[in-house]
Amino acid sequence: MKFGIVVNEGPYTHQASDTAYNFTKAALEKGHEIIRVFFYHDGVNNATRLTVPPQDDRNLQKLWSELAEAHKLDMVVCIAAAQRRGILDENEAKRQGKDADNIAPAFRISGLGQLIDAGIKADRLVTFGD
């Protein structure tokens, strides 16, 4: 089965990001295909490389990046939601006149068209969070 995943919540404010990660990992382990993981609303906070959780806590940004690298996942961060929350890649930082970027490895910024595309290509679009 082909899944599209939507993550609407940040990594430490709600269980949705953990659940989305665990669902995605389990689906891949069972041989399913993940068309795309789309981070929207506060879910874009999963994509900052500046997250520094306590040493005894999980690092969801790192976990997502490692899973994406291992399985060649397309991990898209909504550009509008990202800009509102200060998540920028190198190109967007330059375009907005900012002196730094903070997007983590394996994530990329794009628009809502990527969400629509995932919904069209996937057998199921599964949403985590409000």
Query: In this predicted model, what pLDDT tens digit does every residue of 47-76 receive, in sequence order?
Result: 999 999 999 999 999 999 999 999 999 999
| pTM for this model (two decimals) | 0.96
pLDDT band for position 28 (50/70/90)? very high
Distance CA 92, CA 129 (A): 26
**2-128 is classed in which CATH architecture?**
3-Layer(aba) Sandwich (3.40)
Q: Average pLDDT of the chain? A: 97
Closest CA to 34 of 61, 64, 71, 59: 71
Residue pair 78/39 in contact (Cβ under 8 Å)? The answer is: yes
pLDDT tens-digit series, residues 72-84: 999 999 999 999 9
Catalytic residues: 78
Which 8-state DSSP code applies to residue 57? S
Residue pair 98/88 in contact (Cβ under 8 Å)? The answer is: yes
pLDDT band for position 13 (50/70/90)? confident
Which 8-state DSSP code applies to residue 123? S
pLDDT band for position 99 (50/70/90)? very high
